[in-house]
Structure formats: structure tokens, C-alpha cells
Amino acid sequence: MISINAERLLADLSALARIGAEADGGVTRLAYTPAEQQARTWFIRRARQAGLTVSVDDAGNALALEPQAGGVPPILSGSHLDTVPRGGRFDGMLGVVAALEAVRAVREHDKMTQERRPLGVLALAAEESSRFGVACLGSQMLAGLLPEAALHTLQDAQGVTLLDAMKGAGLQPQPLHKIQRPRGWFHEFVELHIDQSDELAQADVALGLITGIAAPTRLRIELRGRASHSGSTPMEQRQDALVGAAEIILAVERAAMARRQQGVVGTVGILHVEPNAMNVVPGRAELGVDIRGIDEASIQETVQQIEQATTEIAQKRGLRATISVTSRSKPQRISQERVDALARVCQALGVAARPMVSRAGHDAMYLAALGPVSMLFVRNPAGVSHNPAEFARDEDIVAATTVLAAYLAQRAMA
């Protein structure tokens, strides 16, 4: 039976959480910043100490492989190293640390032989959308899903383009196709991640077996009216872009609520108003809309309802509306065979687990373009993520990593 080193696992997790640590217990490691680079350097050092061979591509993705891998597609596990501003100590990094420990445990139990597939750990770059507004940049580049123009069009709040940020991190991503990997690059990818809701905590179950990953469609809606004096412009003569935006926000809520049984959620997370002055009727408003779900048809129906409502609201209020889709991803279903295989490992080890869907997007969703993927969630008693309060119990972390190690060993022999 494969046994992990719990003390080493938890020490690694604590060490990684100190990189970018905030005074309130949160962690900030935005994509392509020195903090993310420092975390990657830490991972490379620990992977090499474990006897793995490490390479870093021009997206910043670090791959640590068993040195005897040769040309056989490996089984990979991992997650991301970046965080949101003042994020938690587990999102992303737990999956990287658990994967590293699981591979170490398998190697210590069973040295590489011709009878089993090689194993590896993939520490992905720039998963969070916090800096550039688009998620999973590292995995999208690996899968060939990011257009070349995104290097120039994506900018952070300071106006730094994605290309300049990557160059500042010592990377040379142009042309993007040199980062892309072919289908079959890996035999299977397994991502372990903290539950970003309270579903497992409410069910009093340690682990979640992911059956599907929800995908986001994101819209940018711009409304243009007429900026005018707030005192001298009669109510009936106003072309108030902000009032129009308020109606659209409610329309987004209605559209998502109408399909909540299909798992659709809708959020207006960005609202910019111009000129943003107390005594001026707003002449322009821009909204960032995030629609998510696990059923592609219901997502598209929601988007169409929002587009129709926007057109009607703009016409009624004398506004000019521009709607653009800034990103669209397809929900990912996980193979039932892989869900069942993970369930059997949990049962054999006496670890409580239940099927569930991931309502947040993950790198595994994009890496599915390259090969089969699986996901395992770890209970989060705090019930929140992207927050310093995010939490996982030591015993659950150890149990999840033990399951991951047993699963990797089993799949490597299949």
C-alpha cells in the first residue's frame, strides 16, 4: 500500500503559502508577477529534490517528470501557482503540492519500471483571471486555445499587456503555437482542488468526485447616452447610461434565475461609469457579465435573453448599446469510467466521497483538449474560496493526497 509523508506534505503547503503572504493570512501571487515567479522557483527546487526532471515553457508552465519517462505519454497531476488578490492558502497550490507528494510517494513505493507509465507534476501559470480578465492562460496556451492577438489586447489595470508582463517574467511567448502541445501529450491529467463552496462541508464528506466542470461565457456591454447637468436636465429628457445599466443588471439576474435548475448562474462583476461625477448624468456605462453553467444550451439561451433585454432597454432609454463576447468556453464532462475509478480508490481506502459538479472553471477544463482529465475536490469547512478564510483540514488533505497517490499508481499500471 502506498503511504504518503504527511509531515512533508503539510510542510510544503505551509512553505508555499508563505510566498506572497499577507498580514491577514491571505496570499497574493498575481499572474506573471515576481511572487508567482518565486512560487515557480520554489516548486522547481522541490521537484528536483524529489528526483524529477523539470522544464518550463514560455507560458510559464512548469513540468516535472520522472527522468525515465522517455517518449511515453505520462500521467500528470497538478494545478496552478497564482492566486487572486488576498486569496486563500489552498486554491491552486493545494493541487500542486498534493501532486508532488503523490508522485514522490509512488516513486518511493515503486521505482520506475517498464511496466508502468511515467508520472509527472504540472504547475500551471496564470489560472486566475484577476490580472488580465481571462482565466487559465497557461493551460489555454498549452491547448492552443488562446488567440495570438490576446498577447496584445489583454491588459491589466495598469495598462500592461499580457505580452509585456510575460516578457517581464523572462518568457518569450511569441509565436504562441510553439507553446501548444499535441493531443495525446499526456495519458491522463488529474487535478486536485479545494471545494470552492460548502457542498462537501454540508454533506459532511471529505472528497468530491467531479463529474463535470462549468464553463464561463463573458460579455462586455457598453451603453452610451448623453452626459448632461444633473440639475438642469429634466427627467424625461435624460439619456442616463447608468440607469440603463441598472436595468441590465436585473435582466442578467432574471435570465440566470430562469435557468437555475440547469445550474446556470449570472453575475455582473464589473461596472464602469463615466464621467463618474456627482452632478453629471452618466453618459457611458460598461458592464462585465459572467455567465456560467454545465449545460451549453442553457448557457447560450441565457446569453441570448440578456442580449435581447439589452437591446430593448437601450431602445427604450435612447441609448446606444454594444455587446461583445470576450470569452466563451465549453463545459467539460468527466468520463464516468474515471469517476468510477476514483470512487473505487476512495472506497478501498475508506475515504468518504460523493459525486458533484464543479461550478467554477479550472485548468482541467482546457487541458481536456489534449487528453482525458479527472478532478478531485477536498472539503472546505469555511465554504468560501478566493478569500483568506478558505480552509481545508489536515486530515482531509492527507486523505485526498493518499487517494491521489493510489489512483496515479493504479492508472499508471493500467
Contacts for 147 with CB less than 8 Å, ≥ 6 apart:
none
pLDDT by residue (tens digit) across 199-256?
999 999 999 999 999 988 999 999 999 999 999 999 999 999 999 999 999 999 999 9
Least confident of 106-110, 125-129, 216-220, 234-238: 106-110
Contacts of 273 (CB under 8 A, 6+ apart): 241, 242, 245, 282, 284, 285
CATH number of 215-328: 3.30.70.360
Task: Please give the average per-residue pLDDT across 3-23, as a whole number.
Answer: 96
Peptide bond into 147 cis (omega under 30): no
Q: What is the mean pLDDT of the chain?
A: 95
The β-bridge partners of 374 are 190
Contact of 66 with 116, CB cutoff 8 Å: no
pLDDT tens string 163-189: 999 999 999 999 999 999 999 999 999
Cell for 202?
454540508
Cβ atoms of 295 and 262 within 8 Å: the answer is yes
Check residue 114 and give its pLDDT: 64
Average pLDDT of the segment spanning 299-307: 97
Residue 113 scores a pLDDT above 80 = no
Contact between 388 and 25 (Cβ < 8 Å): yes
In order, the DSSP letters of 59-100 are T--EEEE-TT-TTSPPEEEEEE----TTB-SSTTHHHHHHHH
What average pLDDT score do residues 143-161 get?
A: 95
Q: DSSP code of 15? A: H
Tell me the CATH architecture of domain 6-214+331-413: 3-Layer(aba) Sandwich (3.40)
117, 412 Cβ separation under 8 angstroms: yes
3-state secondary structure of 197: coil
Q: Which helix (H) or strand (E) holds 345?
A: helix 336-349
What local confidence, expressed as pLDDT, does residue 411 receive?
93
Q: What is the pLDDT of residue 69?
A: 65
Tell me whether strands 53-56 and 62-65 are parallel, antiparallel or unpaired: antiparallel
- The reply to whether domains 6-214+331-413 and 215-328 share a CATH topology is no
Per-domain boundaries in the chain: 6-214+331-413, 215-328
Instruction: Convert the pLDDT of each residue in 319-333 to its tens digit.
Output: 999 999 988 888 899
What pLDDT does residue 413 have? 87
User: What pLDDT is attached to residue 215?
Assistant: 87
The band of 115, judged by pLDDT with boundaries at 50, 70 and 90, is confident
Distances (CA, A) of 232 to 236, 284, 319: 12, 19, 20
Write the pLDDT tens digit of every residue in 272-282.
999 999 999 99
> Average pLDDT for residues 19-40, to the nearest whole number?
95
**Model pLDDT, residue 327:** 82
Residue 1 has what pLDDT?
77
pLDDT digits (tens, 9 = 90+) for 242-257: 999 999 999 999 999 9
The pLDDT of residue 112 is 58
| Residue 68: per-residue pLDDT | 77
